[in-house]
Structure 1
Amino acid sequence: MLNITVKPSVTTCALVSMLALTACSGNQAAPPSANNGDGSTPSDTGTKTVTLSVMTSDRFLELAKQQFEQAHPNIKIDIKEYVAAPPAPAAGKGQNMVIMGKPDPKNIEKFVSSVGAELMSGKASDLIVMSGLPYKKYADKKLLENISDLMSKDAAFQKDNYYSSVFDAMKYNGALYTVPVKVGLNMWLGNQAVLSGEKIDDNKWTWADFKKIAGNWLTDKNNDGKPDTYPLGKIEPDQLITTMLGSSFTKFVDTGGKKAKFDTPEFVNLLKLAKSMYDDKIIPTDNVDNVVIQPKSNILMYMDMYSLPKMSFDGKAGYYNLPSENESKGTAFTTPMPIAINSKSANKKEAWEFIKFLLSDEIQAAKELNGFAVNKNGAKAQLNSLKTLGTGEGGAGKGMRLNLNGKEIALQAATDQEIAAMEKVLNNIKVYAENDSKITTIVSEETAPFFQGQKSAEEVAKVIQNKVSTYLQE
């Protein structure tokens, strides 16, 4: 397990969230001006309350609520949280940061079922953070507002200020029904000492391509019958298959067409390929020190993106896109905060104002964002903050040091070349790693007997096909 210790002199909020996340507070951004694109302010008379449903709120959302209400005195934001966040630990000398795991599946199920029932009954909040919810399903039922239409009709919303490929990737039937306020990147960290000589086109490699190349990285120098270097670090079978599904979701699930494609040669072969990675020792069954690629795949923050390569493989690490079975090429992304507007809301105008606020330059530049900005100006500000590391400027922390397994690493200011390399990756974000929590759970649970040798790939594929098809027809 990675142990990260932050020295007392550190004042930076953004810290290696993929390995450790804590609640941070920082300098608040100045609130943008309030307008509807036509010079007027929303709710000229009286006060309106916009409700927002989210599984668990965070510091960013609370900050945005506070600043939005200051800028819009006639609009209140009521955040409806379904699962409270765990309390942050008290800071102290030598305080190790808390390593936070994945959300409890029961909490996800509670949120998804509760909000789904509210949408179907017409009693949902004005705004909904659609994490884990099948937004295409609800768009088909005319329960979500067409946000592309709102964007095009609002003169104050400048589409050129955003990474359009991110919005395009989340469109359904040509329209945007949920907006990603921030994103995470699905990428691997690889050992450049091994990979620099390989001809890898990670913009189009498949899982079969990966396995074929990875076989060359297995070494057994002491001839003891056990590899002394593994291509990929330990990853549990359920995590591997859901990662494979996530990078190729639309290949096997047509949510809009309500069609599952699991009972196919493509998915059966993918299952067999996944199992062969364990059989052929591409993936170890235990934790090992010497690997070529770290399996942690979701890069959540700018500080992650900058610092993790310096903390891995003796500072000789590089990023690679995950393999995919999709035709779409480019870096895949997830979003922890996809927001939709309830089509039955009586406060659509005010709800759109809050989404615009969340997407504004100032809010997207806030340290509390804890994700990658979809606003280009916000991203530029976030990247530029890395240039002040170790200088004490901009709250970036003079003498910032991280402790990795007993080895202390000092982070220096990012160079223009390093910033340019990060910008290149961000401009290549094009593929949405779609997630439907129900389908992911079905795949995870039903593939277990296959990996345990109790059922064939064909049998498992049929079970998944039936269960997902039934779910899609609900």
Structure 2
Amino acid sequence: MKHKMIGKKGFILSLITLMLVLSACSSSNPSASSPVNSLSNEEKSATDKPNSNEKKVITLSVIKSTRFLELAKEKFEAANPTIKIEIKPSYTVPEVSGRITVARGGGINPVEVEKFVTTVNAELMNGNASDIIAVDELAYNKYAEKGLLTNLIDFMDKTNGFNQDDYFMNVLDALKNKDGLYALPYGVMTSVWFGNQERLAGLNLDPAKAWTWDEFEKKMKTLANDGSKDPLVRYLNPDKLLLEMVSKDMDKFLDVNEKKAKFQDQAFIDMLKQAKSFYDLKIISPLEQPKGPGKAIKMGESLGLKDALSLSEITTYSSLSFASMFYDKPLLYQAPTSEPKDGNSFESNMLLSINNKSENKKEAWSFLQFLISEEMQSSPELEGLPVNKKASQAQIDASAANKDMKLSPEFIEAAKELLPQLKRYSGLDPKIKKILIDETEPFFSGQKSAETVANSIQNKVSLYLEE
């Protein structure tokens, strides 16, 4: 028995020795097509493949993150476990003693905005920008023309799961630049005028019809002579009024596609003079300093204001309820323009674009599409009016059912027409907006003439457009 065991062991050792010799011979005679000690094509391909457990990271650059984006990130990642959304804010609200502090007025320091713009500009030009970029503070049309942003229309077909019937395409169409769409909004806002029916009675002013600034001036002058000492139009800053007037007629003074400005035209000079006259004639009420503690009211109660009109920004359908909080008998009017126009204009809380050099365009588009899905557009965290039709209707129905809002049948019908009537994007390029505000301040304070200011704006905007 012992002899047999030894024989078996010897056989095994001999076999191992033979295999080693053959292996050595094989390695000493490599094929001509394969370098010594190199991997085969199949082996190399296998090592080049990423670990199947690794997640694909989609980066998103914003000035400041929002609860809506954070919620979308959580939900999207849960539904797509192989993808990670990395939100990269350039500004974070500082915490003091464990509490988040909010800047007065809720805004972000312009220095932080400029820092974001400078950083993203450098990243885009260097080819290392994030997959998705917030471009509402950027001159995104310029980047699109340079081929730095992706044309989103390429993704908008049913084969990619995008059904145009689900969205207010009039909003997206208004954002198109020449041959394509390069920025997507997930929430929009528009301005309207709340009217006091008791003050406006007898002026033959139809809420359903478009009207002009000349009509606005004429009606308010008539009201100013009725003997009442009540204010006419609730106070708003001159720069806010100017931007309201320019944005509603932006196509008249600015052609971004052709890089042409017309601020030296008589039409703009007349607009400046008219805007100032509203303050000189006290059509727009002087700014009142608060006296004593403010009056707190509950939803559904009315302040009983006596102003005839008040400019209001509609960011949610519930914003319409402010009309009944202002006036006992409110009306809803379209925003005036220099001449009657079809529909209204709008702005966006955030515009998102896809970096044209991104290697993750498909996944980036999937996330953008998720932001405008019925699920996310129905979120109470949404900033602005939804661009998704089903989510929009659901919010209108909820507002109508909320008895505390006191929305009249007329206001409910007006709510249904808000989004379908948005035909023009009024978001001004941030640098042009700053030029308008800075250059017109001396005019409103009486230091410079309208003609001088108009020429200065024309020169600066023209130089910027040619950059």
User: Same fold by TM-score, threshold 0.5 exceeded?
Assistant: yes
Partner residue, 2:214: 208
| 1:292 paired residue number | 308
Aligned-partner residue type, residue 56 of structure 1: K
Unaligned runs of 5+ in 2: 1-50, 290-304
Indicate yes or no: 2:435 matched with 1:442: yes
State the AA in 2 paired with 1:294.
S
Residues 263 and 457 of structure 2 are in contact (CA less than 8 Å); yes or no, is this contact kept in structure 1? Answer: yes
Whether the 8 Å contact between 2:207 and 2:334 is mirrored in structure 1 is: no
Q: CA deviation at 1:324?
A: 2.0
- Structure 1 residue aligned with 2:359: 346
Trace 1:65-464 onto structure 2 (pairs within 5 A): 65-85=73-93, 100-152=105-157, 154-197=159-202, 198-200=204-206, 204-219=210-225, 221=227, 228-287=229-288, 290-295=306-311, 297-305=312-320, 307-314=321-328, 316-325=329-338, 328-389=341-402, 411=404, 418-464=411-457
- Residue identity in the other structure for 1:199: L
Q: What is the one-letter code of the residue matched to 1:115? A: V
Matched residue of 2:157: which SS? helix
Paired AA for residue 391 in structure 2: G
The one-letter code of the counterpart of 1:333 is F
2:66, 2:230 → 1: CA distance? 40
SS of residue matched to 1:165: helix
The CA deviation at 1:171 is 1.1
CA deviations over 1:28-61 (Å, ceiling 9, x no partner): xxxxxxxxxxxxxxx9874211111111111111
Residues 100 and 47 (structure 1), Cα distance of their counterparts in 2 relative to 1, 3 Å cut: same
Name the SS for the 1:70 alignment partner: helix
Q: Please say if 1:470 is aligned against 2:454.
A: no
Q: In the aligned structure 2, how far is the partner of 1:291 from the partner of 1:134?
A: 38
The one-character-per-residue Cα deviations of 1:430-461 (angstroms, maximum 9, x if unpaired) are 22112211111111011111112221111111
SS of aligned partner of 2:232: strand
Inter-partner Cα distance in structure 2 for 1:262 and 1:168: 26
- Give, in whole Å, the separation in 2 of the partners of 1:309 and 1:88: 37
Superposed displacement of residue 201, structure 1:
6.3
SS in 2 for 1:284: coil
Q: Deviations over 1:360-379 (max 9, x none)?
A: 11111111113211000111
Across the two proteins, how many residue pairs are aligned to each other? 399
Q: 2-side partners of 1:98 and 1:89: how far apart? A: 16
- Aligned residues of 2:324 and 2:406 also touching (Cα < 8 A): no
Equivalent residue of 1:373, what SS? coil
Q: Using the alignment, how far apart are the partners of 2:402 and 2:214 within structure 1?
A: 40
Note closer, same or farther for the CA distance 1:169–1:45 as it changes in structure 2 (3 Å cut).
farther
Percent identity between the aligned chains? 41
TM-score computed with the length of structure 2 as normaliser: 0.79
**One-letter identity of the residue aligned with 1:68:** F
Question: Which residue of structure 1 lines up, in the alignment, with residue 32 of structure 2?
Answer: none
SS in 1 for 2:156: helix
Q: Is the 8 A contact 1:184 1:298 kept in 2?
A: yes
Q: 1:103 to 1:328 in 2, by over 3 A?
A: farther
Q: For residue 291 of structure 1, report the CA deviation from its aligned partner.
A: 1.7
Q: Which runs of 5+ in 1 are unaligned?
A: 1-42, 92-96, 222-226, 391-410
User: Within 2, Cα distance between the matches of 1:104 and 1:205?
Assistant: 36
Q: Kindly tell me: are residues 293 and 355 of structure 1, through their superposed partners in 2, closer, same or farther at Cα, counting changes over 3 Å?
A: same
Structure 2: how far apart are the matches of 1:450 and 1:325?
20
How big is the shift at 1:381? 2.0
Check conservation: 2:61, 2:89, Cα contact below 8 A.
yes
| Aligned residue type for 1:131 | D
Q: TM-score, normalised by structure 1?
A: 0.78
Q: Secondary structure at the match of 1:340?
A: strand
- More helix, by proportion: 2
In the aligned structure 2, how far is the partner of 1:328 from the partner of 1:341?
32
Question: Aligned partners of 2:431 and 2:331: how far apart in 1?
Answer: 33
Displacement of 1:88 in angstroms is 12
Partner Cα separation in structure 2 for residue 211 and residue 101 of structure 1 = 33
Task: Tell me: CA distance 1:254–1:344, structure 2 relative to 1, closer, same or farther (3 Å).
Answer: same
Equivalent-residue separation in structure 1 for 2:123 and 2:339 (angstroms): 33
How far apart are 1:416 and its partner, in Å?
Answer: 6.8
Distance 1:151 1:383 in 2: 27
C-alpha displacement at 1:236, in angstroms?
A: 2.0
Q: Deviations over 1:211-239 (max 9, x none)?
A: 12221121563xxxxx7233311122222
Q: Is the 8 A contact 1:361 1:377 kept in 2?
A: yes
Quote the offset at 1:203 in angstroms.
Answer: 5.1
Which of the pair has the greater relative contact order for Cα pairs under 8 Å at 6+ separation?
Answer: 1
User: Cα 1:44–1:122, aligned 2, differ >3 Å: closer, same or farther?
Assistant: same
SS in 1 for 2:363: helix
Q: Work out whether residues 133 and 355 of structure 2, in 8 Å CA contact, stay in contact via their aligned partners in 1.
A: yes
